Every structure is written in structure tokens, then in C-alpha cells.
Amino acid sequence: MPTNSSLIEPKAINEISYTLYYGTFIHTPSLKELDISFNTIVGVNNLGVIDFIHKNYNPDHHNNMSPVQFFIKNRHFDFIDYSQEPTKFFVPGFIDTHIHASQFPNIGIGLDCPLLDWLNNYTFPLENEFTNSNSTDSKLKFAKDIYSQVIEKTLNNGTTCASYFTTIDPQTTNLFAELLLRFGQRGFVGKVCMDHNETYADYSETFEECIDSMNAIINHLHNLNPQDEILVKPIITPRFAPVCTRDLLFFLGQLSKSHNLPIQTHISENEKEIELVHDLFPDCEDYASVYNKHNLLGESTILAHAIHLTKKERKIIKQKNCSISHCPTSNTFISSGEAPIKKYLYEDEINVSLGTDVSGGFDSSILAIIKHCILVSHHLAMKTKNQKDKLSINDALFMATQGGAQAVGMADQIGTFELGKKFDVQLIDLKSEDSNVDVFDWQLPFKEHHTSIENHKSLSKDEQSKKMFDLLGKWIFSGDDRNCVKVWCNGRLVVNKVRYNHDDRWVMC
């Protein structure tokens, strides 16, 4: 059985002091806007909420420091200063809106077949292991090994929030939610619902089993969250239309409404899959209509892949305010297609976020998915011969953060640095130990451990921003988990790879 929830010590809920973070902050307040702020102070209260932001703080210029002086006089706080380290910067924690935790061991395997074969040959057999072990103990051990690893891995890559698929199994799904709390990652927990698996009958459940399992999970997770904080939440997860009966789809639509729970599923990933949906639901005009008919489309619905949508489907998705989870890495690995994301974002004005889609996707890092979504958009642009299909660094960073926040229904709580938002944040260091990023001194936006006067002489603000933008490119195209040196979730430090404290210049005030 899952651990008694009272024994769990949620990592993102312990007591913290008020803290001022000082340094370079980079985020995308809106789709078209990339904000690079040097010498910025962000204050985080003991609930983990940002309640103070001061840009261009310059301790040498006495005239412009009054708000901070005021602050300093009136509060006790910790002060963490990276302002003089040009290769360090804060970015919002990544939000992965589509990841199959249970498929984690299959990463890198199964290159040889398209979606429907890939499911039968690789995915269903592995997911079935979570239900079919010799004993409950061995099942839980099997699941715990995998689930711990995937949470640790994604957190180490800066993912502070993710929307997960587990398996059909309720016990190990509850265990997964407990592990999320223990490691300190915000998570949406999706027990996979599928009562009609024709091609791989071994791995399926009955309609009644699914109802029982969903109820068990909703109850368990309700009791799991600490007071006043929702860190883990169930998400209604019909796997995808072809493996669900109409009864189940209707039930899940109702369940979402009655419990006010978000929904996630797959849509229009592969052409054969679309044909199959047409055959199975001849009364529905298209794939999106199948979900729409069963009340599964709404502003808290995440639709993964959405590669081959018709104009009409895009219109429904926009009308219903659903979000798309774009999974470029997976779409290339199993040759599903190249989704026209730029069009979705700018023509249809649909919200798009990013998903690793482990293990269709072979990389559990959203930083890698940022890179891949740009590269995949280049392939699309080469095909359409339309430069406008290319995604920019801004677009990609937005989808990885604020686009993700909107997809999981937390647009006002995470995704950017704004007053009132939770401090779900990564500290990036391009010169971390063993970093794969190569930066030469002449490429830095300012000198290391400069005095502000020294620095002022050398580069204009615009030149500094240009250099910082180039470093962002370096981070995206050659960075990895090694550059994500600290991660905060809910204002709590949940990952710290800095081995020696002298690396930080802490000043206790």
C-alpha cells in the first residue's frame, strides 16, 4: 500500500525566511516579450510568494536605492547576491505539460516504428509491468524505482511543475503523487483511463475498474496536500479516444466538472491514429469533435501533440480555450509529424506549451525540448518554404514557462517573475562545474565581480542585453542539467548542486 500520507514531509512546504534574490532575471511576460533584467532584486516571502521586485538596483548610486533602503530598514531577510556573476541568471522553473512517468525506462528505445506499433511493442508491455507484478511489494518497488528517478531527473533539469501520465494502476499512481510531494515538484497526476484496448488486451481495465480507481486516487490526493497548498492534483486522463468507450469518455467529462479537475489527453498525433478515430467514431466529424461531444474540451484541457489538426479543429480548440502541449522531440523520434506551432500561436492564438512526452520523446529536459521545438520548426519552414513558420528563442521560452503555466491553469501563479506569483525558479550557471557551455570572457555582458562604475564604462545596456541574448542561445543549444544549479519550488530550494557554500555570497541581514 502507499505510504501513510501523514508520514510524508513535503519538500516544498518547510519553513523559510524572507529572502531577497539579487541578480539577472530573464522571463517572457508575454508571447512576444523577452525581458532581461540585470541588477534586479526579487523578494520572496515565507509563503514562497514574490512580493517585491526592484529593477536596476545599483548599490553605488545612492539616489536610486530608496525603495530598497526602506525595505532594508523595515524587514529581516536573507540576501542572495549573484549580481556580479555574468554567467548566472534566474529563469522561471520549466513546466512540462506532457510526460509519461511510467515510460521513463524506455527512453532511447523504439526508434523503429510509428505510434500504433510503438504502443504495442514498447509502451503497453512496460506500463503493464506496473499492474502485473508477482506481489504488491514488488510492484511498488518497481514503480518507486522508476517514479523516483523521473521526478529527480526532471527536477534536476529545472522542471518545477509537470503534468504526468502514470498507468492504469491506482496504487502506484498514488505512490507517484506521494513521491512528487517528497521531492518537491508541483505535479498533476494522471492515472491513464482506457477501457477499450483492442490491440493489446492484456493492458486494459473495465469501465467499473476505472471509476473505482479514479475515486480512490481523487480521495487519496485530496488528503495528501498540506494545508492551504495544492502541490499535487489529479488530472482526468482519457489516454486517447481509440482506447476509451463512449461511456468512459462521458464519465470522465462529468468527473472533471463535478470535481473541478483539469483534463489531459492526446490528439491528432499520427495519421493512422486519425483514421482509426474516424473509423471508431463515424458520427463525429473529426478527432476534436470526439472529445468535444463528451464534454472533454475546456479551458483546463491539455491536448498533447495536435500535429495534423484541421482548420475546424483549431477553431474548436480556440473557442474552448484548450491548451496544446507541443512535443517536438517525440514527434520526430517516432516520425509523427511537424506541428505548425507558429500558426497556432500567432494566427489561431491558441495557447501552446511544451511537453517532453517521455518516452516517445527521448529527453526529459524541457531545455532540450526548447531546442528541439526550434529545430523542428526549421524543418517545417524548409518544407513550407515559409520563414514565418520558424519559432524564435522567445517563443520557445514562453511556451516552456508561461505557456505551460496557462496550460495547467496556473497562469496567475507561476511562469514569470511577477508580484503575487510563487517563486518556482531555476538558477542557471553557464560556468557551473563540468558545464558543457563554452563562454569566453569577451562574450560576457559584464565583467565578473565588477564594480558598477567599471562596468558602466564598458558596455551600453543594449550591448549588454545583446550579449546576454547570445548567452541564452548558448544555454539553449549547448546547456544541460549541469547548468541548472539550483531549483526552487514554492519558494523552497529543492535542488542544490553547488557543492561549496563559498560559491554563494550569502549575506544574512
Q: Which residues bind a copy of itself (CB under 8 A)?
A: 104-105, 107-111, 145-146, 149, 153, 332-333, 335, 337-338, 362-363, 374-376, 378-379, 381-383, 390, 393, 434, 436-438, 440, 443, 470, 473-478, 480-482
Cβ-based nearer residue to a copy of itself, 55 or 383 = 383
β 323-326/351-354 pair status: parallel
Alpha-carbon distance of 99 to 79, in angstroms, equals: 36
Considering the complex, state which of residue 20 and residue 175 has its C-beta at the smaller distance from a copy of itself: 175
Least gap, CB of 129 to a copy of itself (angstroms): 9
User: Measured from the CB of residue 352, what is the shortest distance to a copy of itself in angstroms?
Assistant: 19
Q: Which is nearer to a copy of itself, 343 or 505 (CB)?
A: 343
* Alpha-carbon gap, residue 156 to 183, rounded angstroms: 11
Whole-number CA gyration radius for the chain: 23
Cα(241)–Cα(76) distance, integer angstroms: 55
Q: How far is the CB of 36 from a copy of itself (least distance, A)?
A: 16
| CA–CA separation, 101 and 160 (whole Å) | 15
For the range 216-221, what are the long-range contacts, defined as Cβ-Cβ under 8 Å and sequence gap of 24 or more? 216/170, 216/174, 217/170, 217/173, 217/174, 217/177, 217/189, 217/191, 218/259, 218/261, 220/2, 220/5, 220/174, 220/177, 221/174, 221/177, 221/189
Q: Which is nearer to a copy of itself, 45 or 465 (CB)?
A: 465
Cis peptide preceding 37, ω within 30 of 0:
no
CB of 191 to a copy of itself, least distance (A): 22
205 vs 481, which CB is nearer to a copy of itself?
Answer: 481
- Helix axes of 366-384 and 461-478: crossing angle, nearest 10 degrees: 90
* Nearest distance in Å: CB 111, a copy of itself: 6
Half-sphere exposure of 173 (CA within 13 A, CB side): 32
Q: Strand 232-234 to strand 186-190: parallel, antiparallel, or no bridges (unpaired)?
A: parallel
Query: Shortest approach of a copy of itself to residue 84 CB, angstroms?
Result: 23
CB of 480: closest distance to a copy of itself in angstroms? 7
Task: Tell the smallest beta-carbon distance from residue 430 to a copy of itself (Å).
Answer: 10
Q: Write a three-state SS string for 489-505.
A: ECCEEEEECCCCHHHCC
Reduced to 3 states, what is the DSSP secondary structure of residue 192? strand
Which of 120/321 has CB closer to a copy of itself? 120
CB of 90 to a copy of itself, least distance (A): 20
Which residue, 250 or 469, has its beta carbon nearer to a copy of itself? Answer: 469
User: How far is the C-alpha of 241 from the C-alpha of 238, rounded, in Å?
Assistant: 7
User: Residue 162 or 476: which CB sits closer to a copy of itself?
Assistant: 476
Question: How many angstroms separate the CA atoms of 505 and 223, rounded?
Answer: 40
Hey, what's the cell of 489? 519550488
Q: Which is nearer to a copy of itself, 111 or 509 (CB)?
A: 111
